[in-house]
Amino acid sequence: MASGSWPQAAAPVTTAEADEKIAPRLSAAERHEGKSAGRSFSLASRIIARVIFCQLVLTAAISTVAVFYARRELNRGFDATLNGWAANTLAAVRYTDMEVPDLLFDPSLIPTSSNRRHPDLFEIRRSNGDLLARSGAPIPAEFEQGRPFANFVLSGISYRAIILRQVPVLDREDSISVPERVTVIYAAPLGGMHERLMALGFSVAGVSLLLLVVVSVVAAWGVRRGLEPLRELAGQAGEISVFNWEFRPPAEASTAKELAPLTGAIETVLDRLHVSFRQQRDFTSDAAHELKTSVAIVKSTLQTLLQRPRPENEYRAGLESMLEDCGRLEDLLGRMLRLARIELWAENGMNRKLGITEVTSTCEAAISRIQALANARNIQIELTAPQEVHLQADPEDLEVIWVNLLENAVQYSPAGSSVGIRVIPNGGGTACVCVQDSGPGIPEEQLPHVFQRFYRGDPSRSRSTGGFGLGLAICNAMVTAYGGQIEALNRDGQGTEMRVQLPIRRELSSI
């Protein structure tokens, strides 16, 4: 903002007008914000959606694991029961009371089936494979080698079967030393277990979904609550305007790890904006003061002359002084416009074709332009240039810098003293030119301000020498536009030294 200030400031703009000019800029930013609102989204909704999604995945996982675990446990229990029933069935095999005892199956010893509609199935075979007993239809179970269990479907009903291979008959007969062995297959319908598993799955899923709703509501509330500092921060930031620079972030906004960088950034930007806005306002007011005062002088001289009839010599004296005042006004305008032009260059990145210029010759040209002023004050200007230094620059620009520095030095040096200008080839890509005066030096506290526009450390003195406080600002703007540096140094008791460092070759990125 500071560098782009000139076009407004050159006209006598009141601060009220300046405010009006800046206010649309701020509201333009708001409009921009409004335009992008079409694609706007809620951060809180996003976070809540993600929380719910995670919750959903978690619910599904828990339900699945629970069902699988329950199925495994139920299977184990079922298998144990199956085993028990098979053993019971085996117990129903006994020897006959005949001389040579034979195996007999006694159905009265079979326990009643758990499922009345689909009774359990069994099959008992002798060790030679002959069928001893069977519940009804043959059992279509196919047992893999070494596996005691197998599932099968019979007339639409799922069954699970166990096989007890070659187990000895439990019944004992004294005449038989080696008990006979039989193979028992027992099958029971799985139906009950499936239903129980389904019920378990549904109840786990149901409870989980209910919990999910509760958690979502809590999460929504929590997230909105948690984002409250952000909303407050936005509210505070929104209240900032050219009339109100106060920014009071909520305490949480500067302590929260996520918000602290944002708060800090807003504060920094705001400070910078405020400073440059204030500088702009000061500048406008200073420029208005200088211009209006210059006009006031001319106008009051004219009106004084017109107040009553006067002798010719008084008119002549009045006109002559007015001519002088107009010259001063012209000088002020010239300087303001020059400063504006330099700042415009700097803004556009100095995109001018620049040749190679010899520095010492520009110094000599500057000295010849300032010689009359120096002579009038009986001040000697000494040029020290041990060797030629070449820079990529416009010779007129360099001359502007040296003339302003020398003019300043001559004005601040006592009559009869001397002013020095030294050209130092620095090496390392820069060249240095120093201008030294024999004045009283600049108070330390004023050193940082001497390059500000319209700054006058002791206005009465520079006013009496016709300065406006723009000379050093012009030097600063020009040196900055070339990517160089300018600084003011006090030489203990020997006046002030203005040191200019300029790059030998202009780098485009330096601005």
Partner 1 sequence: MRVLVVEDEKRLAENVARALRESAGYAVDIAGDGEEGLYLAESSSYDLMVLDLMLPKLDGQSLLERYRKKGHATPVLVLTARDEKENVVRLLNAGADDYVSKPFDLGEFLARAKALVRRGKGQRSPVFSVADLQLNTIERTVRRGEKEIALVPMEYRVLEYLVHRPRAVVSKSELLEHLYDYNWEKFSNVIEVYISGLRRKIDSNYPVKLIHTVRGHGYVLRPERERT
Residues that bind partner 1 (CB under 8 A): 14-16, 285-286, 288-289, 291-293, 295-301, 303-304, 307-308, 321, 325, 456, 458-461, 463-464
Q: Are 347 and 4 in contact (CB under 8 A)?
A: yes
Q: Are 249 and 266 in contact (CB under 8 A)?
A: yes
Q: Which distant-in-sequence residues (6+ apart) come within 8 Å of 382 by Cβ?
A: 418, 419, 420, 421
Alpha carbons within 13 angstroms on the beta-carbon side of residue 318 total 18
Nearer to partner 1, 94 or 310 (CB): 310
**Number of CB atoms found within 10 A of residue 487's CB:** 15
Nearer to partner 1, 272 or 316 (CB): 316
**Least Å distance between CB 465 and partner 1?**
12
**Least Å distance between CB 451 and partner 1?**
19
**Least Å distance between CB 335 and partner 1?**
17
Residue 436 parent element (H or E)? strand 430-436
Nearer to partner 1, 57 or 296 (CB): 296
HEC per residue, 124-187: EEECCCCEEEECCCCCCCCCCCCCCEEEEEECCEEEEEEEEEEEECCCCCCCCCCCCEEEEEEE
The whole-angstrom separation of Cα 427 and Cα 154 is: 102
DSSP 414: P
Q: Are 149 and 161 in contact (CB under 8 A)?
A: yes
Nearer to partner 1, 18 or 477 (CB): 18
Nearer to partner 1, 265 or 295 (CB): 295
**Least Å distance between CB 15 and partner 1?**
6
**Least Å distance between CB 20 and partner 1?**
12
The whole-angstrom separation of Cα 501 and Cα 387 is: 16
Alpha carbons within 13 angstroms on the beta-carbon side of residue 431 total 23
Both tokens assigned to 470: 């723009």
Nearer to partner 1, 284 or 436 (CB): 284
**Least Å distance between CB 306 and partner 1?**
9
The whole-angstrom separation of Cα 123 and Cα 93 is: 11
**Least Å distance between CB 295 and partner 1?**
4
Nearer to partner 1, 170 or 326 (CB): 326
The whole-angstrom separation of Cα 226 and Cα 257 is: 13
**Least Å distance between CB 354 and partner 1?**
39
Nearer to partner 1, 151 or 300 (CB): 300
Nearer to partner 1, 224 or 449 (CB): 449
What b/e sequence results for 191-230 when a residue is b if at least 16 CB atoms lie within 10 Å of its CB, and e otherwise?
Answer: eebeeebeebbeebbeebeeebeebbeebbeebeeebebb
**Least Å distance between CB 297 and partner 1?**
5
